[in-house]
């Protein structure tokens, strides 16, 4: 079986300037994810904001089945050209998995067409991630619920369009709930938003978080595609005036 080609994109900023984040993710959270997701059927490459064209050239995206995205304080530094290129590739079938604060990334907000706003607080509370859709491929092998010891709280209302499927809803100790694992389809592309991954907590080393992301990569990988839909006149395929 052909390997799924995964590109993990990270703005890679906090890890360079914040000692606490650096101690958790010395090589960057993208490198940590690469290690945690490593398996025989994924071929994983890394890309970051400071690379030429943010590491997301046409050549790289043409060779990517599923793109993971982590960004937080440097969303605006992503060029419109690259953001639009990512959106075009998603629409053409590339899977897209925005993580945590990527809810405000240019590609995600453009694909959603909505505010993508949410409530948040950082008080080191624990979170309980509930699987509310156990039949979904992204839920396979996961327990009914799992605990994340410390995570930034994200709360409703989350300014997303109605998702295709809600796979996980997260409860936070401070009382909020959040649609933290949702799927969307845009043209031929499959999208899964997943909330864990605040930079000051080691949650990309959590076995359940990694299992969800790994399942999501397999789910979002493009299926053999129908030819592009085009926009041409089509003659009737059947007699219509008999
Ligand atoms: Zn955060």
List, as one string, the DSSP characters of 111-175: HHTS----EEE-S---EEEEES-TTSGGGTT--SEEEESS--EEESPP--PPPSEEEEEEEETTS
The answer to whether residue 137 is domain-embedded is: no
Output the CA 199–ligand 1 centroid distance in Å: 6
In a domain, 133, yes or no: no
Contacts of 226 by beta carbon, 8 Å cutoff, 6+ apart: 188
How many angstroms is it from 88 CA to the middle of ligand 1?
27
Q: How far apart are CA 109 and CA 115, in angstroms?
A: 7
CA 157/CA 186 separation, integer angstroms? 22
Report the domain count for the chain: 1
**Is residue 153 assigned to a domain?**
no
Q: What is the model's pTM?
A: 0.96
Residue 32 confidence (pLDDT): 98
pLDDT, position 212: 98
239 assigned to some structural domain = no
Distance, CA 125 to ligand 1 centroid (Å)?
13
Q: What is the pLDDT of residue 174?
A: 98
Spacing, Cα 144 to ligand 1 middle (Å): 25
In a domain, 174, yes or no: no
- In the reported structure, the alpha carbon of residue 226 is separated from the centroid of ligand 1 by a whole-number distance in angstroms of 38
Residue 49 lies in a domain: yes
101 belongs to a structural domain: yes
Q: Residue 194: which domain range?
A: 4-114+181-224
Query: What's the gap in Å between 102 CA and the centre of ligand 1?
Result: 9
Residue by residue, pLDDT tens for the chain (242 residues) are 799 999 999 999 999 999 999 999 999 999 999 999 999 999 999 999 999 999 999 999 999 999 999 999 999 999 999 999 999 999 999 999 999 999 999 999 999 999 999 999 999 999 999 999 999 999 999 999 999 999 999 999 999 999 999 999 999 999 999 999 999 999 999 999 999 999 999 999 999 999 999 999 999 999 876 667 678 898 999 999 87
- Whether residue 58 is contained in a domain is answered as yes
Q: Residue 99 maps to which CATH number?
A: 3.40.50.880
């Amino acid at each position: 079986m052909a390997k799924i080609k995964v590109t993990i994109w990270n703005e890679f900023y906090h890890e360079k300037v914040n000692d606490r984040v650096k101690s958790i993710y010395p090589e960057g959270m993208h490198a940590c994810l690469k290690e945690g997701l490593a398996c025989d059927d994924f071929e994983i490459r890394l890309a970051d904001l400071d690379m030429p064209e943010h590491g997301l050239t046409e050549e790289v995206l043409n060779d990517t089945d599923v793109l993971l995205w982590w960004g937080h304080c440097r969303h605006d530094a992503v060029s419109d050209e690259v953001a639009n290129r990512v959106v075009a590739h998603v629409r053409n079938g590339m899977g897209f998995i925005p993580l945590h604060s990527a809810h405000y990334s240019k590609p995600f907000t453009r694909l959603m067409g909505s505010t993508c706003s949410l409530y948040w607080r950082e008080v080191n509370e624990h979170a309980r991630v509930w699987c509310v859709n156990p039949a979904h491929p992204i839920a396979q092998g996961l327990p009914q619920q799992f605990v994340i010891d410390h995570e930034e709280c994200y709360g409703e209302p989350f300014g997303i369009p109605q998702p295709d499927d809600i796979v996980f809803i997260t409860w936070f100790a401070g009382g909020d709930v959040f649609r933290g694992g949702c799927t969307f389809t845009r043209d031929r592309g499959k999208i899964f938003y997943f909330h864990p991954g605040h930079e000051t907590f080691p949650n990309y080393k959590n076995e359940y978080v990694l299992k969800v992301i790994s399942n999501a990569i397999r789910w979002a990988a493009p299926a053999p595609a129908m030819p592009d839909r085009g926009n041409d006149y089509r003659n009737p395929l059947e007699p219509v005036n008999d």
